[in-house]
Amino acid sequence: NAGVTQTPKFQVLKTGQSMTLQCAQDMNHEYMSWYRQDPGMGLRLIHYSVGAGITDQGEVPNGYNVSRSTTEDFPLRLLSAAPSQTSVYFCASSRARNTEAFFGQGTRLTVV
Amino acid sequence: GEDVEQSLFLSVREGDSSVINCTYTDSSSTYLYWYKQEPGAGLQLLTYIFSNMDMKQDQRLTVLLNKKDKHLSLRIADTQTGDSAIYFCAERRGSARQLTFGSGTQLTVLP
């Protein structure tokens, strides 16, 4: 059982480049979320999804897009990378609203 | 995550008890969580408490909840070097009950 899988683990981008961070879960969870982790700021919610075809904005959505075409996958797209998007990104999933959230191992992104 | 507050650092000696504190804001939060993050890894759920409970104990971990003051604490008994990590408290809030995290407390266990 793989749980929540994020790829890539590390990425360096130039300012203005676009890319997609992948997240997949094999637990048939309805809820999926993307967070960014910055020093001293904990995890901040970027976007989330409560089911296939449904997405919504979190606390810091600007500069990011998401889609949820299947239950398993929840990719995060950076449209035009900026140095302020240098961070560690975590994807999480949970079975329902009040249940445990399972986290991926994270993607460390550096924008130069 | 600024609405959920934690101190950033805590140091304890091996064998002592650690107490990590957290204050939250949403009085309607139904579940409150403690997550552990080891270096270079994702977050792992340590324990959680339902809002109608005052205390929950799980082996070396004790969670105390004061709903009146919106204060949550995690006590780790007999702290070991393997407990060195960042500890996050989190509450579920909002219509979609998304997790909101504190800034994390870096626990350092000294020999």
Q: What pLDDT digit, counting tens, does each position of B22-59 carry?
A: 998 877 777 899 999 998 888 999 999 988 889 999 99
Give the sheet arrangement for strand A76-78, strand by strand.
Answer: A4-7, A19-25, A76-78, A64-66
The verdict on A41 touching B (C-beta cutoff 8 Å) is yes
| Radius of gyration from C-alpha coordinates of chain B | 13
**How close A42 gets to chain B, by Cα (Å)?**
4
Interface test with chain A among B99, B103, B105, B106, by most A beta carbons within 10 Å: B99
Nearest to A103 among B8, B42, B102 (CB): B42
Assigned token pair, A45: 């919610």
Q: Give the contacts of B32 (CB within 8 A, at least 6 positions apart).
A: B22, B24, B48, B49, B51, B63, B65, B72, B89, B90, B91
Helix (H, G, I), strand (E, B) or coil at A3: coil
Per CB-CB distance under 8 Å, the chain B contacts of A41 are 1-2, 103
Q: Give the rounded percent of residues in chain B with a pLDDT score beyond 90.
A: 68
Closest B-chain CA to A55: B96
pLDDT at B60: 96
* Three-state SS annotation for chain B: CCCCEECCEEEEECCCCEEEEEECCCCCCCEEEEEEECCCCCEEEEEEEECCCCEEEECCEEEEEECCCCEEEEEECCCCHHHCEEEEEEEEECCCCEEEECCCEEEEEEC
**Exposed/middle/buried for B106, CB within 10 Å: 0-12, 13-18, 19+?**
middle
Neighboring chain A residues of B1 at a CB cutoff of 8 Å? 41-44, 59
Give me the tens of pLDDT residue by residue for chain A, a chain 112 residues long. 679 999 999 999 999 999 999 999 999 999 999 999 998 788 999 999 999 999 999 999 999 999 999 999 999 999 999 999 999 999 999 987 777 889 999 999 999 9
